Chain A
Amino acid sequence: MAPPVLSNEEIRRYSRHLIMPEVGMAGQRRLKQGSVLLIGTGGLGSPLALYLAAAGVGHIGLVDFDVVDESNLQRQIVHGTSTVGLAKTESARRRLHDLNPLVEVTTYETPITSANALDLMRPYDIIIDGTDNFPTRYLTNDAAVMLGKPNVYGSIFRFEGQVTVFSPKDGGPCYRCLYPEPPPPGLVPSCAEGGVLGVLPGVIGTLQATEAIKLLTGIGEPLIGRLLLYDALEMRFRELKLRRNVNCPVCGDHPTVTELIDYEQFCGIVPEVQTLSSQYEITPVELAALLETPERPFLLDVRNSYEVEIASIEGTDLLIPVDQLPEQINKLDSSVEIVVYCRSGARSGQAVEMLKAAGFRKVKNLVGGVLRWSDEVDPTMAKY
């Protein structure tokens, strides 16, 4: 099908593209014909959506089920103070419509799952992975490979980012060729736990947008078979070679994974009730009441020292960052009741498991951590 022609309005808007011979009228018409599905409208999805809309990509799909929160605005620049509390898909749609009303935006306010991934992706030329967890990254990869669509990949952590284009149909590798198996839960911290420099997803998302635009217009050398690494602190870019693994279970010569699987299970994620019974849990309200009694428990903080400066529960007895717990376990007395806490309850959950494995039985995880403590007990406590 011949790419659609441009209206005079479009010619005015895209003139800075049109006067470059590498893009020109032909390239701009291909952008107008093109479609991109963005999985995630967060840190990476924000600059992606903005630049793809501004560039005139004809159809942009946005998949997200989250709601805009104040703490997103440090980096998620497609959203704004006026859309806090709104669905991210709707917030982004409004901003994109203001930026460029000539592009079509379709929103899907749903998590991407094995049940809907193929249907969501099928209408689009390019898939862009801007999610924040391993199950969704493997799901996005596998579905894109099965549909033969390029997956423009980016991921970030603190000051560091990775970018590449996975496109086995062009002879390149897929995500599973790079990382055959996900890390076990808890070993690799997420951005919510580990933090992220706000401008970092801006750099990485913009690189992803650049690759998507190159793929749609057919210009330049795509980032296929190359992993671009960015270190913001060192201000250094590096490039590593990526190869398609002929034994890859998804894109290899004899694939063994030919339909979408249960990715939560693949990533070792089991429902919380199975990992931690309520005997080893305590709610903020229960803890607050207990701290008023003479039998107050020993309160152990397993966060990092710089987090203590932000917010801390009064009466905390000891700080041992979760990574140092194995070496410092002898500082704890297994005969007294211990309540362990962190920011959200995830790291303290791991700490409780470690203590249980070491024989401790009178140990409880403060569910929801400092965040829920602030919600339910002490609203003056800062959430971060």
Chain B
Amino acid sequence: MVGDAISHAVLPGIVIAFLWSGSRDSVTMLLGAGALGIISTFLIEFLTNKGNLQSDASIGVTFTWLFALGVILISAFTGQVDLDQECVLYGEIAYVPLDTIVLNSGVDIGPQAIYLLGAVLLMVIAFVWLGFNQLRITSFDPQYAISLGISATLWNYLLMAFVSFTTVASFESVGAILVVAFLIAPAATAYLLTKRLKTMIFIASITGILSAIGGHFLAISINGSIAGAMATVAGIIFGIAFVYVRSKTKGDAKITSRESIVA
């Protein structure tokens, strides 16, 4: 799961970008984390191809040590700089509405995060829309794609760059844990429910939206952490899908066995 790996691996990038520039503005963070995202992709490829490791082993190695490095950096410098562990891990989604953009004329046009993440959303949609065929063929059968003259490496790096960007842009508002939860849970839920790629993408998006809304209300009603509640709801939806699919396949198996008895 390269997306998961990247979302962990970009942590030191964010910290280093912050320590180096001393600013918490999103663009600096995006650049730092984007760079780490690409470095970790290189590292994974390198370990797999040259180090002869299995691909999941190289992914595991890469993201655990980079994430650990990030956590060490944060705890080492927490005292000196205004960057706390809680904030990076859990985000500060509750403060998002307060961090608004105020135009020169004095008009408040709403939270900054909405514009940043909205722009990322549009870019990701455009990327997946335009590159859908290339992304599908290079994920399914990279060697065949190369034989057609489609560069599997290029599309892999593009995909990873977009995963890094999305991760990093979301980091500031929602924190590492929610990013990881939302990278994995909705996609895993969709993978259980359908075998069609386009339907899968659609279900994953809907699940993500429902988890966010559901988590918001859950957090209000129990007066708990918003990020935690959203991750919990995403987990619950996955659990429901899992139970549903299990009971359905069992039902199908019964029907087929009955049919074969009749036949």
Q: Do chains A and B interact in one complex? A: no
Chain A residues at the B interface, C-beta cutoff of 8 Å: none
